[in-house]
Amino acid sequence: MTSVAAFLNFFQSGGFFMYPILLVLAVASAIIVERIVVIARSGTNAERLWTQIAPSVHSRRMDDAVRQCSQSRTPLHRVLAAGIRGMKGAFTREDVQGGVDEAMMQVIPRLEARVNYLPNLANVATLLGLLGTIVGLIQAFTAVSLADPSQKAVLLAKGISVAMGTTAFGLIVAVPLLLVHGFLQSRVNRVLDTVEEYSLRLVNLAGQLARDDAFDGYSNGSDAHATRKAVGMVKGAAHAK
């Protein structure tokens, strides 16, 4: 209770600019809570998901793989589902890459949304604290110039103390915001790195399947050509007789 009373006394003594700094803190706190929830929901066990869909993709059961990816709305599930949809029917590596890139363009802005507001809000809090200090010093020196000489030192000390309170509060708000911004940005980067890694795996798998299909087609064509050649030789020999 004593600490709360001390903070209220400190806040009230800071003057008008304490309220805009408090507003910045409230807005930043709302952004932080919202981003933490979004980032937490974006996480998934990527390796387990890959082991679930890879056999279906290898077996050309694309609908089953898409159904498995549609069980969740995480960025990784959405990107892999978009890539697998591009593998239905006749496909190329470029088709899959195009679907993956399109999905990435949708999920990246949603992950990074409003995170970059935090350093800007930290700068605003710092500048508001400095502005409050300057205004407080101006008011303090104005009051001293009009006060009784015996009270000038006391009034000046009190005015400076009040003015410096806004700078202190601005820094108290700004420093944690910068630290939280770094933490959230690292979590976003981790999610994006995972999405890029497994989307690249899918693209490489699509390229492998396309090469296998091309090789099978070439092999079947070569066998058919050999069969036609053998039949032609038999007919030629019979005609010669």
The average confidence (pLDDT) of the chain is 82
CA gap 117, 134 in Å, rounded: 26
Percent of the chain beyond pLDDT 90? 36
Model-level pTM? Answer: 0.78
Least confident of 6-10, 55-59, 66-70, 122-126: 6-10
Residue 216's pLDDT is what?
58
Under the banding of pLDDT at 50, 70 and 90, the label for residue 231 is very low
pLDDT in tens, 134-152: 888 887 777 777 767 767 7
What is the average pLDDT across 27-47?
Answer: 93
Show me where the domains of the chain are located: 20-229
User: Around Cβ 100, how many Cβ atoms within 10 Å?
Assistant: 24
Q: Are 60 and 88 in contact (CB under 8 A)?
A: no
DSSP state of 151: G
Q: Are 79 and 65 in contact (CB under 8 A)?
A: no
